Amino acid sequence: MTLDDALRRENNNADLFRLIAALAVIWGHAFALSPREGEHEPIGALLGFDYSGSLAVKFFFFLSGILVTSSWLRQPSPVKFAVARIFRIFPALIVSGSICMLVIGPMLTSLPLGQYFGNTWMYIHIFKQSYMGYVMPGVFQNNAYQDANGSLWTICYELLMYAALLALAMCGLLRLKVVAAFACGAVIVWFLYRPDSISIFGLPNNNDAGRLPAFFSFGVLLALFKEKIRIDARVVLGTYLLAWLLRDGPVFEYAFYVAFLLTPLWLMTLRPIKALKLPGDYSYGVYVYGWPIQQTITALFPDISLQQNQLFSIAVAIAVGAASWHFLEKPFVKVGHRLPDVLQAIRPMVPTRWFSG
C-alpha cells in the first residue's frame, strides 16, 4: 500500500495511534511526577537515549508533518490552512487553562482565595498565552514538579512548524518537490546535529526540543512523495534490520527513529487494527489535560503507587479527552472548516488568491 492510500481515512486507524501516543506521554511522565524509589522508566533504561514520552512527542511531530503537508497539497489555501490549525489547537488550550486556573487552582491552592484570584496575570494567560506552561499560585507546591501543565511546551514548537511550512508553501517551495526534498533533508540533518539552532526562532532547546523540526520535516518529506512511497511489513522490517546492523555504531539512534516512526504508519492500515475504530480523535484532549490530571491526583493522593497514578490518570484523561472532543474540539473543527467559505463569500474584501493555490 502506498502512503497516499494509507492516509485515506477509511484505510487507517490513525486516531488509535495518536491516542496511544498521548497515553504514552502520561505513562512516561508518571515516573517524574509521582517518583518512587527503585522505579525507572523502562524504555529509557533500555534505549539509553530516549524514553516513552519523548518518543510519543516525536511521533506526533512526524505524523503532523505528514498530515498538514498532505492537507496543503490537497487544498493549497493559506486561509483554510491557518484557520483549520487555529480552530484545532486553541479552543482546547483555552478551556484547559480556564479549568486549571479557575477551578482546580482555587480548590487546591494554599493561598487565601482573594490572594489567589488577585493574580491577574492568569486571566491574560488563558487567552493570550494559552500555549505556554505556567505555575498556579500556591498549587502543587508539595509535588515533585509545580508546573500546572508541563506538556504545553511542545505547542510552541508545533505552531512554529505550521507557520514555517505555511511560509514555504506560500513561497511556492512545495510545488518544486525535488527542491523541497533537499530542503527537508537539510533541516533534518541540521537540527539533529545542531538542535541548539532552534534559538534563532526564540525557542529554547529544552528537553532536546531543537530536534523536533527534524521529525516534522521527515513527515513533510514523506508527504511530498506519498504516491510513490510504500508502507508495508517488508519496509518496516527492513528498517529494523538496518537499525540492528547499526546497533553498535554512532548512527543507531537515527536508524531506530526511522523504524520506530514507520511502524505505526504500517500498523494503522492492518485490518484488525482498523476494526478498532474510535468514535473520535481523543488524543489532543488527553495530551492537553493529562499533566494537570496527574498533578491533581498526585496532590490529592500522594501515597498511591506509581502504577495507580498511571492507571487513574489514564482513565480520567480518556474520559476528559472524549468529552473535550465531542463537546468542544469537534464543533470547533467544523467551524474552522466552514469559516473560510464564509470569508470567501465576502471576497471583495479578501483577495481570492488567499483561498486557493
> Which of helix, strand or coil describes residue 263?
helix
- Report the length, in residues, of the chain: 357
Least confident of 149-153, 172-176, 218-222, 342-346: 342-346
Predicted confidence band at 128 (pLDDT cuts at 50, 70, 90)?
Answer: confident
Question: Which residues are paired to 230 by β-bridges?
Answer: 2
> Cβ distance 125 to 101 under 8 Å?
yes
104 and 137 Cβ atoms separated by less than 8 Å: no
Closest CA relative to residue 43, chosen from 60, 59, 25: 25
Over residues 80-122, the pLDDT tens digits come to: 999 999 999 999 999 999 999 999 999 999 999 999 999 999 9
C-alpha to C-alpha distance for 245 and 304, rounded to whole angstroms: 43
Under 8 Å between Cβ of 111 and 204: no
- Does residue 258 lie in a domain region? no
Q: How far is CA 9 from the centre of its chain?
A: 19
pLDDT of res. 274: 93
Q: When comparing pLDDT for 351 and 177, which is higher?
A: 177
Helix residue spans in the chain (DSSP H): 3-6, 14-33, 42-47, 52-74, 78-99, 105-108, 113-117, 121-128, 153-170, 177-193, 212-224, 233-245, 252-267, 271-274, 283-300, 306-324, 330-345
The residue segments making up the domain with residue 329 are 3-231+269-355
pTM of the complete model: 0.94
Looking at the structure of the chain, the number of domains it has is 1
Confidence grade of residue 38 (pLDDT, cut at 50, 70, 90): confident
> What per-residue confidence (pLDDT) applies to 347?
62
**Beta partners for residue 2, in sequence order:** 230
Residue 237 lies in a domain: no
Domain contains 218: yes
**Above pLDDT 90, what percent of the chain?**
86
In a domain, 74, yes or no: yes
pLDDT of residue 354 exceeding 70, the answer is no
Encode pLDDT of 219-268 as tens digits: 999 999 999 999 999 999 999 999 999 999 999 999 999 999 999 999 99
Q: Please report whether residue 264 resides in a domain.
A: no
Residue 326 lies in a domain: yes
If DSSP codes are grouped into helix, strand and coil, which group holds residue 230?
Answer: strand
CA distance 263 to 50: 17
Instruction: Please indicate, yes or no, if residue 252 is contained in any of the structural domains.
Output: no
Q: Is the pLDDT of residue 142 over 80?
A: yes
pLDDT value at residue 355:
57
Q: What is the mean pLDDT of the chain?
A: 93
Residue 346 has pLDDT above 90, yes or no: no
Scanning 146-251, the segments in alpha helix (DSSP H) are 153-170, 177-193, 212-224, 233-245
Do 203 and 157 touch, CB atoms closer than 8 A? yes
Kindly state whether residue 78 falls inside one of the protein's structural domains. Answer: yes
